[in-house]
Amino acid sequence: MPLIPSLQATIGFLFQFAFVVPFIVLAALAVRRLPKPRALIVALLVAFFCSELQFIRLEHVIPGYDRLNWNWGGKIASTIGILIAIPSAGLTFEETGFRRSEKGSIASALIAGLLICLCSWGYSLFFFGAGGTPPTTETLLFQATMPGLSEEPFFRALMPILFDRALPGRTWRILGVDWSVGMVIATVWFGLAHGVGLDGGHVVWSLAAVLSTGVMGLGLAWIYLRTRSLILPILFHNLINVGLDCLPYAHMVFG
């Protein structure tokens, strides 16, 4: 069936998640308790369900889909899966960030978001420079919508809450917000998800990608914890991605 993710995609997810397991063990040591088995199983099943949806195949279902260069179907399916998983896991949309930002939090969150953007763009320009092929319209549309909509609810809200259920009881007050065990695990996973994987049966990894994306994830997590809303994390996530595609070619317009 064309809608079912490939076996390689499933193996790739399991391989990637294997790198997250040691951090779950470290988190258990930090809170000095064993994970709650049922809550941990729920977290892992939700993670597997939502992640697998990113790899559904639509080229034999939607005419012309094979001409698209970006994984629209997988990202949309994953986003829908997250929206299904939230009530299925006994959570409300409000407690997972589908709400307005806390009063008095927007100004500091905007400043933090702009700093994250500048750091991400500056890092890319410094290490990779300018030039190359300008982004297509499809690329800009995808980057302006899909990354934040699919990844922020998952990594900033749903998974931290589920991991906190499995390992409850401890937070760290850092930079004016409370960091839970679940948020730390999800942020580490966010970095690993962008720098570790399998491609054609071969291990691919990039320490630079893990670290740079992990730092970006920390910033977006701070904004989420400060505002208790997904609105700004989604907007800044997408803005960062659009900028990463556009900034190397700014000299063509302004130079």
In tens digits, what is the pLDDT along the chain, a chain of 255 residues?
A: 456 666 767 787 888 888 899 999 999 998 888 999 999 999 999 999 999 898 887 777 788 888 889 999 999 999 999 999 999 999 999 999 999 999 999 999 999 999 999 999 998 888 777 666 788 999 999 999 999 999 999 999 999 999 999 998 789 999 999 999 999 999 999 999 888 877 766 778 888 889 999 999 999 999 999 999 999 999 999 999 999 998 877 545 444
Q: How many domains does the chain have?
A: 1
Exposure pattern of 220-241 as b/e (b: 16+ CB <10 Å)? bbbbbbbbbbbbbbbbbbbbbb
Query: Does the residue 74 lie in any domain?
Result: yes
Residue 211, in any domain of the structure: yes
Residue 211 belongs to what domain range? 7-254
pLDDT of residue 224: 98
2: in domain: no
Task: Identify whether 67 is part of a domain.
Answer: yes
Residues across the chain = 255
| Residue at 1 is within a domain | no
* CA pair distance 221, 242, nearest whole angstrom: 19
Is 63 contained in some domain?
yes
pLDDT at position 254? 44
Are 163 and 181 in contact by the 8 Å Cβ rule? The answer is yes
pLDDT at 61: 75
Give domain status of residue 121, yes or no: yes
Q: For the beta carbon of residue 189, count every other beta carbon within 10 angstroms.
A: 24
pLDDT of residue 3: 61
On whether residue 24 sits in a domain, the answer given is: yes
Cα 37–22–236 angle (5° rounding)? 95
Give Cβ neighbours of residue 212 (< 8 Å, ≥ 6 apart): 120, 123
**Which of 250, 247, 206 has the alpha carbon at shortest distance from 121?**
247
| pTM for this prediction | 0.92
pLDDT of residue 253: 46
Q: Which of 47, 38, 34, 45 is nearest to 167 (CA)?
A: 34
